[in-house]
Amino acid sequence: MKNSRKCVKRHFTSIIMVVLTTILLPTNSHAQKLDSDLRKAAKNGETEKVQNYLEKGASINSSDNKGKTALMLAAEEGHEDVVKLLLKGAADISAIDNTGESALDKARRKNRTKVVEILEFAQAQSKNTIEAYEDFLRHYPNGSFTIEARSGMEKLYFNQAQSKNTIETYDDFLKRYPNGSLTTEAWVRIEKLYFDQAQSKNTIDAYEDFIRRFPKGNLSAKAQSRLDKLYPQIKNAFLLTWDKLSKCDIIRNRNLNNKIKVRFGWAGNRPAYVLSPLDEDGQIESSGIIEELPERGITLNYSQNSKFLVMNGYLIDNRPDGKFFSVLGIGTYLLLLDSNEWIDICGIMFKGGAIKIVKEGFEFQAGTILRRPVEQIKD
């Protein structure tokens, strides 16, 4: 009984083996033939056949008894289109045959110049590092893949900046790629960082600095809105320093419809800031001679149309006779404005108060202070 069961078991196993052999051998044989046909077509440079065999399921990285893959055979024979097609299909560029050679080694040995460039670029792409692309571009500064290699490098530098996400790293990127494909994106990101910086400080100076940097940026309107909300919070005084005054372009008074130009001058070996009225053509109406006086520092000889001069923390105001200036020291009031008169100094709109000379600059006291052009002010 026991022996009978063993016989049945052996017989059943034999049947299974026969069935498996019947099913699997033809399948393996078919796959091997397909792989062999792929390598043959690659060696012969038959691009369409290679494409066809790949679509039928041929193994792109299969090798013959010498360890050669389709990519090696195509590279060795210098078939550029086939090499490109196989690389597009994810052929393994790093594979080696029984002799230890890769597809690139074979192309170099056979002096297949074009194929070597194709494979070296593919190698740089597979490494995907700045160093790999730089190395490729050193060898092929004007090659077939130069633009693609530079684009790859730009993406990597952008990714670096993005990962650190700092103003400095984006600045560095923009210096490298002022007109790159990712330049606009970099500007958007750096603008956001500057805006976040201004928002965290939430001061007039911070938002003004942002608007100067990005006058037409995506966040400029938002910054201006925040700025407008901050200005009415100035209850008592607002300081405009000498440093900022020296960088002013135009000072305007709406009611008198005049403009005053800021000029940088010297009194002997000391700096002076000269504010002079402009004529209709935007030219300075009058000029004067700056003379140094031992007792008081300086004096000026200007026409009666001249306004005033600031020098070393002092304001020089026009005398009634219109010929000379006298020194007005710290604590002197420059202007007393009524509620209907707007004056624009360095973009600061001011009315209904006084401007006092202090050690640090002009101090706007009381009144109304806004950051808007004269033309936009409506009483």
**Of 127, 148, 166, the domain-final residue:** 127
**Of 127, 159, 176, the domain-final residue:** 127
| In a shared domain, residues 115 and 241 | no
Q: Examine residue 224 and state whether it is found in any structural domain, yes or no.
A: no
Q: Examine residue 179 and state whether it is found in any structural domain, yes or no.
A: no
Give the per-residue pLDDT at 166. Answer: 94
Provide the residue-wise pLDDT of the chain in tens; the chain has 379 residues.
Answer: 545 555 545 555 655 555 545 544 455 688 888 989 999 999 999 999 999 999 999 999 999 999 999 999 999 999 999 999 999 988 999 999 999 999 999 999 999 999 999 999 999 999 999 999 999 999 999 999 999 999 999 999 999 999 999 999 999 999 999 999 999 999 999 999 999 999 999 987 888 889 888 988 999 989 988 877 776 555 556 777 766 766 665 455 544 444 444 444 444 444 444 455 444 554 544 444 444 333 333 444 443 444 455 544 455 554 444 444 455 556 666 555 556 666 677 767 777 777 777 777 778 777 776 665 545 545 4
Q: Examine residue 141 and state whether it is found in any structural domain, yes or no.
A: no
Q: Examine residue 167 and state whether it is found in any structural domain, yes or no.
A: no
Q: Examine residue 70 and state whether it is found in any structural domain, yes or no.
A: yes
Sign of the four-CA dihedral 309, 314, 320, 324: negative
* Cβ atoms < 10 Å from Cβ of 137: 18
Give the per-residue pLDDT at 312. Answer: 46
| Calpha distance 174→189 (Å, rounded) | 11
Distances (CA, A) of 320 to 129, 178, 179, 205: 74, 55, 57, 37
**Of 109, 127, 145, the domain-final residue:** 127
| In a shared domain, residues 241 and 123 | no
Q: Examine residue 149 and state whether it is found in any structural domain, yes or no.
A: no
Supply φ then ψ for residue 313, to 5 degrees: 85, 5
- What is the DSSP secondary-structure string of 185-201? HHHHHHHHHHHHHHHHH
Give the per-residue pLDDT at 372. Answer: 57
| Calpha distance 96→205 (Å, rounded) | 64
CATH code, domain with 116? 1.25.40.20
User: Is the CB of residue 208 less than 8 Å from the CB of residue 244?
Assistant: no
| In a shared domain, residues 118 and 241 | no
Q: Examine residue 114 and state whether it is found in any structural domain, yes or no.
A: yes
Give the per-residue pLDDT at 370. Answer: 66
Number of domains in the chain: 2
Give the per-residue pLDDT at 264. Answer: 43
Distances (CA, A) of 190 to 165, 169, 194, 337: 8, 9, 6, 41
Q: Examine residue 67 and state whether it is found in any structural domain, yes or no.
A: yes
Structural domain for 89, as ranges: 32-127
Residues 6+ apart with CB under 8 A from 72: 95, 97, 101, 102, 103, 106
| Calpha distance 210→226 (Å, rounded) | 11
